Amino acid sequence: MIENQSIEFFVNMGTYNPRYISIRILITSVLAMFLIFIADKLINPINVYGPLLAGYIIAIIGFNCITEVNIFLINVFKSSERYNKNIYVHMLVMFLITILVTFIFIKIAEIIFGSNNLLQHEVTQMILILGLLILLIYLLIIVLSGITKGWIESKKELSDLKQAKLLSDYNSLKDRLNPHFLFNNLSVLKSLIRYSPKDAETFTQNFTNVYRYVLNSHEKYTVTLENELEFLNSYIALHKERIGEGLEVSINIKEDLLKNEIPPMTLQLLLENAIKHNIASKTQKLKIEIESDFSGSFLTVKNNIHKKETTYSTQTGLDTLKAQYLLIANKPVIITDDGDFFTVKIPLL
């Protein structure tokens, strides 16, 4: 199996890093000089002086032009998702470009040497056969190395995403199913059953909706914003039954954004974070605003700050959320705290 460092070296050989440009030109030039010398000696062993200097220069320039044109196209393909991993397209284009550039330089050489049948010369034919074959193999290695590196990185990203998802699922289930949360909600339910059976029925339905959503979203990387908000309404209702007027949540999201997606339980995490760290009472209300921005690219979750005196936090939830967004869409979660308001902007997918 090819070591990652070897793959990295060949991939970098196709970049425009000054170091690798120099290495690439040196390798190609030495190859061109070696091939023209060997070909001449095999065809004309009695030629003491070897090929003319002009022959070396044309071979060096020609081979480097073929290499650089193909490298340029390889980098163009890297920016295209459609063609980046299509090895057949790479091979076809490299072959056609190589033939075209070779033909141009043969014509230039014919003008310099004053010959109209340079292609029929045995030295030229041997150089073309051996040189172009080696050059194409060299370029193909660069292409395959790039594809292999992309495959390795995608496998690593998938593995990292699975780990982040598992951590998120674990934290969500742990937070929602721990005895403290169950005790609070069951205590509320017990009181409602005694004093308001009708409200107890509604509370039970919301309680069921919350846990059903947690379990159903366990295997998903993203969910629609519409489904997340349905779950969030049930989740908010549970907290409002316990906190009462101390919690105010306003949701203002454009209807045409409801089909966009976010990682499951993202809004719940941010809501829980606000409730966990801030006082929510009649005298010091916790106000949480969830709204879409003007462009429709982000959701903003904002709450006023009335910090509790003692709150233990590991920041695991927010760190996991940021990691999920980077892995899923390579987009950042923007967090700001100005002392009065805590704001989190999450990208819509």
In CATH terms, the superfamily for domain 178-347 is Histidine kinase-like ATPase, C-terminal domain (3.30.565.10)
* Predicted TM-score of the model (pTM): 0.51
The predicted pLDDT at position 51 comes to 52
pLDDT of residue 339: 86
* Cα separation, 159 vs 327, whole angstroms: 10
Both tokens of residue 346? Answer: 């999450």
Question: Given the DSSP bridges, would you call strands 334-337 and 286-292 parallel, antiparallel or unpaired?
Answer: unpaired
Q: Is-contact 267 301, C-beta < 8 A?
A: yes
Res 50: pLDDT? 46
pLDDT value at position 24?
Answer: 82
| 325-to-251, 300, 330, 345 alpha-carbon distances in Å | 22, 15, 6, 11
Which residues are CB-contacts of 149 (< 8 A; sequence separation ≥ 6)? 7, 8, 11
pLDDT of residue 39: 66
Tokens found for residue 51:
């090929």
Mean pLDDT by runs of 10 across the 349 residues of the chain is 60 77 86 75 54 72 80 73 64 76 74 67 66 69 68 70 64 54 67 73 77 75 88 84 85 90 86 86 89 85 86 66 77 89 91
With CA atoms as reference, report the closest residue to 11 among 150, 154, 158: 150
Query: HEC states along the chain?
Result: CCCHHHHHHHHHCCCCCHHHHHHHHHHHHHHHHHHHHHHHHHHCCCCCCCCCHHHHHHHHHHHHHHHHHHHHHHHHHHCCCCCCCCHHHHHHHHHHHHHHHHHHHHHHHHHHHCCCCHHHCHHHHHHHHHHHHHHHHHHHHHHHHHHHHHHHHHHHHHHHHHHHHHHHHHHHHHHHHCHHHHHHHHHHHHHHHHHCHHHHHHHHHHHHHHHHHHHHCCCCCCEEHHHHHHHHHHHHHHHHHHHHHHEEEEEECCHHHCCCEECCCHHHHHHHHHHHHECCCCCCCEEEEEEECCCCCEEEEEEECCECCCCCCCCHHHHHHHHHHHHHHCCCCEEEECCCEEEEEEECC
Decide if 347 contacts 266 (C-beta within 8 A). no
Where exactly are the structural domains of the chain? 4-155, 178-347
